[in-house]
Amino acid sequence: MSEHHNLNVVVAAAFTTPVNVVDAHHHIQSRRLLLQYLSENQFFGLIPSSISNLNSLTKLSLQYNKLSGRIPYKIDKLKSLTNLLLTSNRITGSIPHSIGKLSQLEYLSLNINELIGPIPSSIGQLASLQVQFLVHLLRLFRILDLSCNPLSLGKIPSWMSKLNLSWLMLAKTGLKGELPSWLSSLPLGYLDLSSNELTGRFPTWIGNMSDLWYLNISYNKFYSTIPKEFKNMLLLTDLDLHSNNFSGPLDFIFDKNVDGPLGHYNTIDVSRNKFTGPIDKNVGNKLAMNTISSLILSNNPLGGRIPKSIGNLTQMRLLEMVRDKLSGTIPEEISNADTLRIIKLSRNYLTGRVPKMVINLKWLEKFEVLRNKLSGEIPAHKANFPASAFFGNPGLCGLPLPACKQV
């Protein structure tokens, strides 16, 4: 880099060798600097405290580098700063209280670092914390992402209720206890609280979160059945509840109401819970299910049969129903879902033959039925499935298993 004196914008192309961020900073010091984009390079070392001298800086992006040390306490000297993006570095220590003095800050991203708690309550004073995204319509979103930092937060800080957030991402931040009811008063569209130690029942007030379209509370310790109020989540399209202790039927999930063209599922993952069946035989005819691309129900004691109506889910690419205590045959009707790329039905009690039309789906890349009670010759198929995908079915024969015995 050459030295800059009258510079308003600095954009650094990706370096091919590691560069100390202090050395880079010496080349671009300028009090008139407005924008500094240094993302996705190989910068290492500390964020220089002298960066606070760039008092005209409005956007600072140092994402996806190898920066270490603490966030400079004098960061509050950057009075004009609207964007502070430090995602995916090795930044340690606590978030400085002085960040709360950045009154113009609109977008703060600190996820995937090694920050520790507590989060300073001064962040709650940042009334302008927001960013614009294009999702269905151009709307104003307010975003806070502190995911993947060992913050040991405990409870979700109540001062966050003052931020009027639309996106809240606190995955793997040491959350414990029950969800606070004030979450339902926020206009949240995106909520990721995965990989924590949250517990308690699935709250009935979740039905009041009418703007929510993405919900991920996987890898927690929630229990209880799904309340009927869940059906009121009109805009919900992506649901991830896997690896909890939820129980009872899945009906309220499949029967969810929609808002015209909005709120039709894209993905559902409820694996590794204690949900019980049988699965509604009309699941493939439910209005909220008609655009789903990924349906993962594995590791639940569902029992019963695979519904034939699943073949009506004609946009589905992934169907996973492993270790669900399913019985009966594999429905030929699944072949109507002709966009399927992955079918996993292993470790059940399925009987009968492998349907020829299912195993020959045009886009099918993975087909696994190991450890069932299937029998007969595996139909000829074009895809190259390994023999391991069929192991544990003593009555099965034919490629890729040994040839069937001639009678």
Q: Where is pLDDT greater, at 237 or 92?
A: 237
Interior angle at CA 113, CA 139 and CA 37, nearest 5: 60
Percent of the chain exceeding pLDDT 90 equals 57
Percent of the chain exceeding pLDDT 70 equals 84
For the ranges 1-15, 121-135, 169-183, 224-238, which has the lowest average pLDDT? 1-15
Instruction: Specify the fold of 1-137.
Output: 3.80.10
Taking residues 7-12, what's their average pLDDT?
40
Q: Where is pLDDT greater, at 341 or 115?
A: 341
Task: Say if residue 137's pLDDT is above 60.
Answer: no
pLDDT band at 32 (very low <50, low <70, confident <90, very high): very low
Task: Say if residue 226's pLDDT is above 70.
Answer: yes
For the ranges 75-79, 104-108, 256-260, 319-323, which has the lowest average pLDDT? 104-108
How many helices and strands, by DSSP H and E, does the chain display?
3, 30
Residue type, 349: Y
Q: Where is pLDDT greater, at 184 or 93?
A: 184
pLDDT at 264: 97
pLDDT at 139: 32
Task: Say if residue 13's pLDDT is above 60.
Answer: no
Asked if the peptide bond before residue 278 counts as cis, ω within 30 degrees of 0, the response is: yes
Cα 355 to Cα 336: distance, rounded to the nearest angstrom: 12
- Tens digit of each residue's pLDDT (9 = 90 or more) over 177-195: 999 999 999 999 999 999 9
Contact 55, 30 (CB under 8 A): no
Residue that is written with structure tokens 């209005």 in the block: 287
For the ranges 103-107, 169-173, 329-333, which has the lowest average pLDDT? 103-107
Cα 83 to Cα 251: distance, rounded to the nearest angstrom: 43
Task: Say if residue 28's pLDDT is above 60.
Answer: no
For the ranges 87-101, 252-266, 308-322, which has the lowest average pLDDT? 87-101
Give the mean pLDDT of the chain.
85
Residue type, 340: L
pLDDT band at 285 (very low <50, low <70, confident <90, very high): very high
pLDDT at 146: 82
Distances (CA, A) of 230 to 5, 181, 194, 321, 343: 58, 15, 19, 23, 28
pLDDT at 92: 87
pLDDT at 37: 56
Coil, strand, or helix at residue 180?
coil
Cα 151 to Cα 287: distance, rounded to the nearest angstrom: 41
Task: Say if residue 21's pLDDT is above 60.
Answer: no
pLDDT band at 340 (very low <50, low <70, confident <90, very high): very high
- What is the residue extent of each domain of the chain? 1-137
DSSP 292-361: --EEE--SS---SB--GGGGG-TT--EEE--SS--EEPPPGGGGG-TT--EEE--SSEEEEPPPHHHHT-
**Which residues make Cβ contacts (< 8 Å) with residue 402, sequence separation at least 6?**
none
Q: Where is pLDDT greater, at 83 or 285?
A: 285
Closest to 293 in 3D by CA, of 259, 319, 262, 274: 319
Task: Say if residue 322's pLDDT is above 80.
Answer: yes
pLDDT band at 22 (very low <50, low <70, confident <90, very high): very low
